[in-house]
């Protein structure tokens, strides 16, 4: 074959060209591996500096002072500050503003840092107090100041007025000392127990057949008094019949006190 030498030369040229091409590819991949070395993570020194600067800025903003006035206590040398992949968060976990808590969410860790501000005393964080429920309304009521026995005639020394919670008080509780004047107890009552209207009743101040004093106010402004006989028993405020023994005339009067009446 006359062209055999030419064909062999072409094949050798192609093989050489391919070999050079493969060498370039291998060289390019090798060069790329040297061009971009891996980035080393931040060491503990830089992480500590980030923490300290973050705390200073946070205290400066929250307390509205210059960052130059904020001082940090040295961190414990045994504690290694790790780098945080997320922004640091800070708060005041205690009642004083001297301690700042620094927290990292990734990786999770927290660190306490003591801070001070030049020229300012430590502040106290105001604690939120739970809202107190409103106090129930109160009212003045009458209670027994001494043991009250059934049949006892009351006066102002036997009772006293006190303020109590109205939510547990019945509606018929007495409120004024005048309500027990000329009244008697119908049941025993212990000291401190509120008096109710059905615990007392008007006492008998006038008895039938007794001589009582009847007073009559005249239109002219003067008063006439006479001794008359009670024809009925009478309690305070009741109207009863009377009789003048001298004239035999029957009268009426209203009971005002023990053996005392006023004419009608």
CATH for 178: 3.90.1210.10
In a domain, 132, yes or no: no
- Of 202, 232, 252, the one marking the end of a domain is 202
- Of 62, 84, 117, the one marking the end of a domain is 117
50 and 107 together in one domain: yes
In a domain, 24, yes or no: no
Per residue of the chain (264 residues), give pLDDT as tens.
445 556 554 654 554 445 544 444 443 444 333 333 433 444 445 888 999 999 999 999 998 999 899 999 988 778 888 999 999 999 998 888 899 999 999 999 999 999 999 877 666 555 555 667 777 788 889 999 999 999 999 988 999 999 888 777 777 899 888 889 889 999 999 999 999 999 999 889 999 999 999 998 888 778 889 999 999 999 988 999 999 998 999 999 999 889 999 988
Beta strands in the chain (DSSP E): 70-72, 89-91, 99-105, 108-117, 138-144, 159-165, 183-185, 200-202, 204-206, 211-217, 223-230, 234-235, 239-243, 250-257, 260-263
Domain of 219 in residue numbering reads as 204-263
pLDDT at position 13: 58
pLDDT at position 39: 34
pLDDT at position 53: 92
pLDDT at position 143: 92
In a domain, 10, yes or no: no
Of 102, 112, 118, 124, nearest to 65 by C-alpha is: 118
Instruction: Using DSSP bridges, classify how beta strands 89-91 and 138-144 pair: parallel, antiparallel or unpaired.
Output: unpaired
pLDDT at position 182: 86
In a domain, 9, yes or no: no
101 and 150 together in one domain: no
In a domain, 65, yes or no: yes
- Of 166, 185, 202, the one marking the end of a domain is 202
pLDDT at position 223: 86
In a domain, 123, yes or no: no
182 and 229 together in one domain: no
pLDDT at position 32: 39
In a domain, 239, yes or no: yes
49 and 113 together in one domain: yes
Residue 166 CA from chain centroid, whole number: 21
Alpha-carbon distance of 56 to 67, in angstroms, equals: 6
**Total number of domains in the chain:** 3
Residue 230: burial class (beta carbons within 10 Å; 0-12, 13-18, 19+): buried
Instruction: Look up residue 34 and give its two tokens.
Output: 């040297």
Helix locations, the chain, DSSP H: 4-35, 44-63
The CB density around residue 209, as the number of other CB atoms within 10 Å, is: 9
């Amino acid at each position: 074959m006359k062209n055999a030498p030419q064909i062999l030369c072409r094949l050798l040229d192609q093989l050489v060209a391919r070999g050079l091409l493969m060498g370039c590819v291998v060289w390019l991949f090798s060069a790329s591996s040297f061009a971009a070395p891996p980035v080393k993570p931040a060491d503990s020194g830089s992480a500590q500096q980030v923490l300290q600067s973050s705390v200073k800025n946070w205290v400066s903003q929250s307390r509205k002072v210059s960052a130059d006035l904020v001082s940090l206590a040295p961190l414990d040398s045994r504690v290694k500050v790790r780098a945080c992949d997320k922004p640091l968060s800070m708060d005041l976990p205690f009642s004083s503003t001297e301690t700042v808590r620094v927290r990292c969410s990734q990786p999770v860790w927290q660190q306490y840092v003591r801070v001070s501000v030049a020229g300012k005393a430590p502040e106290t964080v105001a604690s939120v107090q739970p809202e107190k429920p409103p106090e129930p309304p109160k009212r003045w009521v009458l209670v027994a100041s001494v043991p009250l026995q059934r049949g006892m005639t009351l006066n102002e020394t036997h009772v006293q007025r006190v303020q109590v919670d109205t939510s547990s008080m019945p509606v018929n509780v007495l409120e004024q000392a005048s309500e027990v004047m000329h009244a008697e107890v119908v049941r025993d009552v212990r000291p401190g127990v509120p008096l109710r209207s059905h615990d007392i009743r008007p006492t008998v101040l006038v008895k039938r057949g007794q001589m009582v004093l009847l007073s009559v106010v005249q239109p002219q402004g003067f008063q006439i008094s006479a001794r008359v006989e009670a024809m009925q028993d009478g309690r305070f405020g009741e109207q009863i019949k009377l009789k003048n023994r001298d004239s035999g005339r029957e009268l009426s009067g209203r009971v005002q006190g023990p053996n005392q009446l006023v004419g009608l």
